[in-house]
């Protein structure tokens, strides 16, 4: 790894730490008055939604496949992690240790489910894959409606409140960082090569099915992590929370932010997760607002707000200081 890349990573890490320090400082100082707790809740919701949306973008944006069943993996992670935390409560574990174990088990359960679904489903493409993944999500939802351990179709309540803003923020940072490193690795580049030309990649000797199933499983794993955070934040769930509309909502956030851009997923998830709260007085028109935003983005930015572009503090600083312009002119002159 070159010094430039290390410096870029360090600079972006400092930027993330400053954002966290700013938010926690505002919350600690009660800067928003009576709305401070409410806004902190919105930020927490945005953090776990970012994990779900960026994980879906691995499949839709970087692998180039259309999935409509992401809510199924989120629900697996949510219910499994809630069951695990309930079973381990009072066993001498700290709240943070219990939380992390529950999330990892929930994520692994969702990842295993991703492998089981991906092996047969990813041999299909396009609309056929979308239909299969949608059917999978509905099957999972119906199963949770009939399992007594998940409430038997009723509300599963009494889940431990373990999702605090600082924990969720840093878990989100770790998850997004791992997904970013995967995308930038040789495995991620191979997956993107498959997206660009499926036939050429296969003819080059790439095991297309293996890489697609691997990416699908990684996406499901992080969706399960997001679901586990959701469960331990809401402390009560019902299977209908994870219906087709939820999958469509996550997909719309990917599309608005930009398929193939993790930065876009972060912005899209943060914006659309906050939108319902900002429009609480007009909750009847929430889906209408989603539709209007989607139509506007498709008209003026068909590739999403960010397209496949990633935000970088290093690039911004280079432009502000003029170094990027000088470098571009030098390369052009060469």
- The residue ranges of every structural domain in the chain are 3-333
Reported as a single tens digit per residue, the pLDDT across 134-178 is 999 999 998 888 888 887 778 888 899 999 999 999 999 999 999
Q: In a 10 Å sphere around its CB, with 0-12 CB exposed, 13-18 middle and 19+ buried, how is residue 231 labelled?
A: buried
- pLDDT tops 50 at residue 330: no
236, containing H or E segment: strand 236-237
pLDDT at 284: 67
Could you write out the three-class secondary structure of 308-331? CCCCCHHHHHHHHHCHHHHHHHHH
CB 232 within 8 A of CB 143: no
- Average the pLDDT over each of 47-56, 69-78, 238-247, 288-297 and give the range with the smallest value: 288-297
CB 224 within 8 A of CB 77: yes
Is the overall model pTM greater than 0.85, yes or no? yes
Higher pLDDT, 278 or 213: 213
- Average the pLDDT over each of 36-40, 101-105, 106-110, 177-181 and give the range with the smallest value: 36-40
Average pLDDT, the chain: 86
Which of 250, 199, 224, 7 shows the shortest CA–CA distance to 110?
224
Q: Identify any residues that bridge with 237 across adjacent strands, giving them in sequence order.
A: 156
- Average the pLDDT over each of 18-22, 67-71, 188-192, 312-316 and give the range with the smallest value: 312-316
- Which tokens sit at 225? 């992590």
CA distance 118 to 137: 13
Q: Identify any residues that bridge with 156 across adjacent strands, giving them in sequence order.
A: 237
Q: Identify any residues that bridge with 303 across adjacent strands, giving them in sequence order.
A: none
- Give me the percent of the chain exceeding a pLDDT of 90: 42
Which of 310, 69, 40 shows the shortest CA–CA distance to 183?
310
pLDDT at 280: 65
pLDDT at 334: 45
Higher pLDDT, 299 or 322: 299
- pLDDT tops 70 at residue 38: yes
Residue with tokens 């894959």: 129
Among left, alpha and beta (phi > 0; psi -120 to 50; other), residue 197 is beta
pLDDT at 323: 60
DSSP designation for 154: S
- Residue 324: band (very low, low, confident or very high) from pLDDT cuts 50, 70, 90: low
CA distance 325 to 314: 13
CA distance 93 to 142: 33
Tell me the mean pLDDT in the region 7-31.
89
Positive/negative CA dihedral, 61, 63, 67, 72:
negative
- Residue 89 CB contacts under 8 Å (≥ 6 apart), including other chains: 98, 160
pLDDT at 277: 67
Tell me the mean pLDDT in the region 289-309.
79
- Residue 173 CB contacts under 8 Å (≥ 6 apart), including other chains: 16
- Residue 332: band (very low, low, confident or very high) from pLDDT cuts 50, 70, 90: very low
Neighbours of 225 (CB within 10 A): 29
Tell me the mean pLDDT in the region 21-30.
93
- pLDDT tops 50 at residue 331: no
Reported as a single tens digit per residue, the pLDDT across 198-243 is 888 888 888 998 999 999 999 999 999 999 999 999 999 998 889 8
Give the architecture (CATH level 2) of 3-333: Orthogonal Bundle (1.10)
């Amino acid at each position: 790894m070159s010094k430039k890349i290390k410096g870029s990573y360090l600079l972006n890490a400092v930027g993330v730490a400053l954002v966290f320090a700013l938010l926690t400082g505002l919350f600690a100082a009660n800067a928003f008055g009576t709305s401070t707790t409410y806004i902190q809740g919105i930020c927490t919701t945005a953090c776990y939604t970012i994990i779900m949306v960026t994980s879906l973008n691995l499949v839709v944006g970087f692998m180039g496949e259309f999935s409509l069943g992401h809510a199924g993996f989120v629900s697996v992670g949510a219910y499994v992690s809630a069951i695990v935390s309930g079973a381990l409560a009072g066993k001498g574990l700290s709240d943070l240790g219990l939380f992390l174990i529950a999330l990892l088990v929930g994520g692994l359960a969702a990842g295993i489910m991703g492998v089981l679904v991906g092996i047969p489903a990813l041999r299909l493409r396009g609309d056929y894959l979308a239909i299969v993944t949608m059917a999978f999500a509905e099957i999972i939802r119906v199963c949770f409606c009939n399992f007594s351990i998940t409430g038997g179709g009723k509300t599963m309540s009494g889940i431990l409140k373990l999702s605090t803003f600082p924990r969720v923020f840093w878990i989100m940072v770790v998850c997004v960082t791992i997904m970013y490193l995967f995308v930038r690795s040789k495995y991620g580049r191979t997956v993107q090569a498959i997206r660009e030309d499926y036939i050429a990649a296969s003819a080059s000797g790439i095991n297309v099915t293996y890489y697609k199933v691997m990416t699908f499983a990684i996406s499901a794993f992080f969706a399960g992590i997001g679901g586990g955070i959701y469960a331990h934040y809401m402390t009560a769930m019902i299977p209908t929370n994870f219906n087709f509309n939820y999958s469509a909502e996550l997909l719309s956030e990917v599309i608005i932010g930009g398929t193939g851009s993790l930065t876009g997923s972060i912005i899209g998830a943060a914006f659309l997760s906050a939108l319902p709260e900002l429009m609480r007085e007009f909750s009847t028109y929430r889906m209408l607002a989603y539709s209007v935003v989607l139509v506007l983005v498709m008209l003026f930015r068909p590739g999403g707000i960010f397209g496949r572009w990633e935000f970088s503090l290093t690039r911004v600083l280079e432009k502000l200081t003029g170094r990027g312009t000088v470098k571009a002119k030098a390369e052009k002159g060469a």
